[in-house]
Amino acid sequence: MGLGRCYSYHLPPIVLLSRLWVSFSLSYLLLLVSSTIVFVVVVPVDAFQCATGRTSGGLVQEIPTEWMNDGYCDCPIDGADEPNTDACSGSQFWPGIVTEDSSRRTAPVFVCPQQPNLKLPLSRLDDGICDCCDGTDEPNGIVSCRDDCEEMLRAERDARAKLEHDFQQGYKKRLSDIEHFQTLRQSKLQQADELETKLNEEVVPSIEDTQTQIRDLKQEYVKTRVSTMKDSVTSSSVAKELLAPLDKSELEQFIIHACQMAGEILADEDTTTCAPLRVAGLDMALTWSDDNYDKVDEMKGNINMTAEMVQLIFDNAVAQGGALRWPTSSNIRKKKHRRRLDEIYHDDDDYLGDHYDRNNDDYDDMDDEPPYHVSDDDDDDEDDDDYSEPMPEPEGNEKELIDAISNSTFSKTRNTFLSKANRIALAISEMFDAPLDDVTNNDDKGDHLDESKDSSVASIDPAAYTMVRNELMKKASSIQKGLQWGASAKLLFSFSNQSENNLLRLAVGTIYYGQLSALDVWQILQGILPEFTVSSSSGGQDDTCGSPWANSCPPKTIDRNGSSYPPSILINVATTFCESEATRNTNNEMQSTCAAQQQEENSVKDAETISIPTSVPEGYLGYYAPSKRTEDDPLSIQLFGPIDSLAIPKDEMKELEDKKRHAENEKRNLERSIDDIWKDIGGKDGKQMGENGELHSMADQCYSVVAGKYTYETCIFGRASQKEGNSSGGTNLGNWRGIERDAESGRRVMKWEGGAKCWNGPQRSATVYVTCGADHKLLSADEPDTCRYVLEMESPIGCDEDYKIRMGL
């Protein structure tokens, strides 16, 4: 026999008697001392063991069966001796009770006998409130509890039945949706694999092969073109007769003024640097970069023939007299900080060969589409016929260079035109008491007349004077563009040290790409060669309003290196020009021009009696605007014939580019189809569709619930919104951010974030907590915090194994 209970107690007499009664029946030895009883219990025949938990080792005690359900907890850890009473309720938390892992204890609770799912904290026992349907939580009878278990349990059974039904329906639907998604996903993955195989093994190689063919075709043409320009044009006898007699300084001056004249011819070009000179440099594998005049500091090293340069050469060849292709920025006339020529190209005649090696990195990286802006004559932002906004005034180094060119002998008549045209335009504006822009742009021009100043003003046709002003400003803008282009070339030569041979090649190229005619070349020579400029300056041009070329006609020749200069190709066109000027003078055309000029001079003296001409004839104020070289020009026939007649592989290029375009369209379609597949199945890993693709059945669906005066709507993969009444659109509560699991409850949580900002708070957001349901349905909506909306939703996606375990289903 082992030891029985051996405790020291201070017990009431009634308890002592009950324990004595048990001891007598089992032949116990009792020892009474005062009011305390010390006794030793001899283990009875009928006994069982339980853990008392009163030592760190968890003492195992043999308990007689008579102690079962006697209202006293002898087994506090498992309560084995009091299964039918609540004597051991929470006993494992009694002081001094030690379990194997006390850290994992849960709070003690009382379980209502007829409501096993209702667990009450011990603090709610005997608290005067009936929590259990039969009142067993109030054992001492402080209050009288009505037994309504039958009614309550019936409602609980109904709710439980619905819960189980909804779970079964939702669980079945969720599994079906997941199975459908997995089947769809496998099919889509196979389809995507087939499309990617076609894309990577057929279409992309086809594009790359076509690009190689286009590259090779351009390469061969550019090699031929550059060779032709070098050997058949710039090295021809005509080119040498034309420019070889000029020394290095004169060649530089020629190129500067050739750029100036090209700027007037190609005034619509957006670039503010001499594009013809740039393109001519490309024929020699030379290039440079833009920068502000004030930032010119040092020369850069040479730049090899790159893919972009090859593309530029080819595009300019295809243009054949059209707008030059060059990296430009649009709306240059409206930019305050215009960029200028900065860096100096490098002298490199022997660039062919390795520069066209197919293993060359620059060449392999060639992009068949030009990575630059191609200027367009159609400018949506600017009316080419309206020059009411003058070009920004030059500053710093730019102004110094432009002033130097403007004050040259060649620019004398242009400088005069700019000065007088500006005064006339200002006078027109003053006549109407309005700013220049208002006179030009206002549809109702007559509103600006001031009849009180002069009755003659009221009879003026505003539209006619607006046309005069615009024509003057258009010509002035062309002259300014020419000055800019000339300044860019002058800046270049102020830092470069080119050989005479290179300068000759650049000069010929500038003539060609600048569309200069033989007459233009003759006129430039009249303005830069000292033998002609001395004669021109002594002729008294300031004293006559006749032809500015009067002192150059008939054309004269000089001796240069023992030969007559200029060559006959220029003398012939100059002779025809001089004869035309004489005819114009004889037919009184020049007198009309002189009369108009005299009117302008008088108007300066007496602004009140100004008489503005109603048209701007050619040669007005001594300026003749140059025009593009024609096909029958001597230079086109005798000098540029080899390059103009060079066959451009347009048909082959078009065929290849059509093939490439078709393949690129197919590539885009394939990529779009592949992207659509990934979207359908939640990305390559499927995670965007939630766990196992459970969101697929809800994708792009919207659900709504009415709460108060608002309707709340959430769209899966879309946005959440709050609408009032029948309003459309509503307030944006956020865009879809994803779905996740709540760590504590295990519920799915959908989130929409980044909605409309509250006027005094954060951006709006919406959070939807999902529980199990047979159908997708929003249940409620609330705003617990400012602009933070919380909604409850039933959905089959919440009916999973975790929910089943959690709810004890």
Helix, strand, coil shares, percent, the chain, to 5: 50, 10, 40
pLDDT at 116: 82
Check residues 606 and 659 and name the one with the higher pLDDT: 659
Burial 332-365 (b: 16+ CB within 10 A, else e): bbeeeebbbbbbbbbeeeebeeebbeeebebbee
Q: Do 51 and 78 meet the contact criterion of CB atoms below 8 Å apart? A: yes
To the nearest 10°, the Cα dihedral for 49, 50, 53, 58? 50
pLDDT at 67: 85
Burial 607-627 (b: 16+ CB within 10 A, else e): eeebebbeebeebbbbbbebe
Q: What are phi and psi of 480, to 5 degrees?
A: -65, -40
Q: Of how many residues is the chain composed?
A: 809
Separation CA 213–CA 741 (nearest Å): 56
pLDDT at 41: 41
pLDDT at 149: 87
Q: Poorest-confidence range of 21-25, 392-396, 638-642?
A: 21-25
Structure tokens at 273: 């640097």
Tokens 């029958």 label which residue? 632
Number of alpha carbons in the 13 Å side-chain half-sphere of residue 333:
19
Furthest CA-CA distance within the chain: 162
Per-residue pLDDT band for 404 (boundaries 50, 70, 90) equals confident
Q: What is the mean pLDDT of residues 164-177?
A: 92
Q: What percent of the chain has pLDDT over 90?
A: 33
By CB atoms closer than 10 A (0-12, 13-18, 19+), residue 779 is middle
Q: Do 334 and 289 meet the contact criterion of CB atoms below 8 Å apart? A: no
Q: Whole-number mean pLDDT of the chain?
A: 75
SS3 assignment for 301-367:
CCCCCCHHHHHHHHHHHHHCCCCCCCCCCCCHHHCCCCCEECCCCCCCCCCCCHHHCCCCHHHHCCC
Angle, nearest 10°, between helix axes 568-586 and 589-605?
A: 70
User: Strand (E) positions, 572-622?
Assistant: none
Contacts with 680 (C-beta within 8 Å, 6 or more apart), sequence order: 184, 188
Task: Please state whether beta strands 719-724 and 748-754 pair in parallel, antiparallel, or not at all (unpaired).
Answer: unpaired
Per-residue pLDDT band for 698 (boundaries 50, 70, 90) equals very high
Per-residue pLDDT band for 7 (boundaries 50, 70, 90) equals very low
Cα torsion angle, 325, 329, 334, 335, sign:
negative
Which among 638, 641, 634 is positioned nearest to 517, based on CA atoms? 634
User: pLDDT tens across 643-657, in order?
Assistant: 999 888 889 999 999
pLDDT at 613: 72
Separation CA 188–CA 627 (nearest Å): 64
Per-residue pLDDT band for 481 (boundaries 50, 70, 90) equals very high
Q: What is the mean pLDDT of residues 330-359?
A: 31
Check residues 1 and 730 and name the one with the higher pLDDT: 730
Q: Poorest-confidence range of 21-25, 535-539, 708-712?
A: 21-25
Structure tokens at 700: 């792009």
User: Rounded to two decimals, what is the model's pTM?
Assistant: 0.57
Q: Walk me through the domains of the chain, giving residue ranges and CATH numbers.
A: 235-644 (no CATH), 700-806 (2.70.130.10)
Amino acid in the structure at residue 221: Y
Which contiguous run of DSSP H or E holds residue 276? helix 275-282
Check residues 54 and 771 and name the one with the higher pLDDT: 771
Q: Do 696 and 683 meet the contact criterion of CB atoms below 8 Å apart? A: no
Q: What are phi and psi of 371, to 5 degrees?
A: -85, 50
Q: Poorest-confidence range of 166-175, 412-421, 554-563?
A: 412-421
Check residues 362 and 660 and name the one with the higher pLDDT: 660
Is 60 exceeded by the pLDDT of residue 200? yes
Q: Do 507 and 435 meet the contact criterion of CB atoms below 8 Å apart? A: no
Q: Do 163 and 174 meet the contact criterion of CB atoms below 8 Å apart? A: no
Is 80 exceeded by the pLDDT of residue 44? no
Burial 546-559 (b: 16+ CB within 10 A, else e): bbbbbbbbebeeee
User: pLDDT tens across 292-311, in order?
Assistant: 333 333 333 333 456 777 78
Check residues 356 and 534 and name the one with the higher pLDDT: 534
Amino acid in the structure at residue 529: L
From the centroid of its chain, how far is CA 240?
53
Q: What is the mean pLDDT of residues 121-133?
A: 87
**What count of other Cβ atoms lies within 10 Å of the Cβ of residue 386?**
14
User: pLDDT tens across 242-297, in order?
Assistant: 999 999 999 999 999 999 999 999 888 777 788 899 888 888 877 655 443 333 33
User: pLDDT tens across 572-606, in order?
Assistant: 999 999 988 887 766 555 555 565 555 555 544 44
User: pLDDT tens across 424-435, in order?
Assistant: 888 887 776 554
pLDDT at 658: 96
Separation CA 457–CA 343 (nearest Å): 53
Q: Do 81 and 74 meet the contact criterion of CB atoms below 8 Å apart? A: yes
Check residues 371 and 669 and name the one with the higher pLDDT: 669
